[in-house]
Amino acid sequence: MKKITKISIILLCLMVVSSLLVVNTYAKWKPEREAAQTVDIPGTGWNPAESYIVFAGLDSSNLVVSSSVDFSEIINFAVVGYTGTVAELVIPEEITVIYGEQEITGDVLQILAGGVQGFYFEDGEEYTGNYEEVDLKNNQFLTYIYIPASVSYVGNSVFMGCVNLEEIELEGSEIAINMGDYAFSDCISLNTVSTNGRPISGVSEYIFYNTPYLE
97, 55 contact by CB (below 8 A): yes
Q: For 112-180, give the DSSP string.
A: ----S---EEETTEE--S-GGG---TT-SS-SEEEE-TT--EE-TTTTTT-TT--EEEEPP-SS-EEE-
Quickly count: other Cβ atoms within 10 Å of residue 134's Cβ.
23
Banded pLDDT at 42 (limits 50, 70, 90): very low
179, 201 contact by CB (below 8 A): yes
User: Rounded to an integer, what distance in angstroms lies between the CA atom of residue 129 and that of residue 122?
Assistant: 10
Region of 91 on the Ramachandran plot (φ > 0 left; ψ -120 to 50 alpha; else beta) = beta
Angle at 54 between CA 171 and CA 83, to 5 degrees: 100
Average pLDDT score over residue span 25-38: 40
User: Rounded to an integer, what distance in angstroms lies between the CA atom of residue 188 and that of residue 43?
Assistant: 34
Give the model's pLDDT for residue 115: 83
Give the model's pLDDT for residue 132: 85
95 versus 115: which is more confidently predicted?
Answer: 95
**Beta-strand relationship, 144-147 and 88-90:** parallel
Average pLDDT score over residue span 148-154: 98
Looking at the chain, the whole-number percentage of residues with pLDDT higher than 90 is: 73
173, 147 contact by CB (below 8 A): no
Q: Residue 74 pLDDT more than 90?
A: yes
175-215: pLDDT as tens digits: 999 999 999 999 999 999 999 999 999 999 999 999 999 98
Give the model's pLDDT for residue 114: 87
User: Rounded to an integer, what distance in angstroms lies between the CA atom of residue 102 and that of residue 100?
Assistant: 6
114-150: pLDDT as tens digits: 888 889 999 999 999 988 889 999 999 999 999 999 9
Give the model's pLDDT for residue 45: 65
pTM over cut 0.85: no
DSSP code of residue 19: H
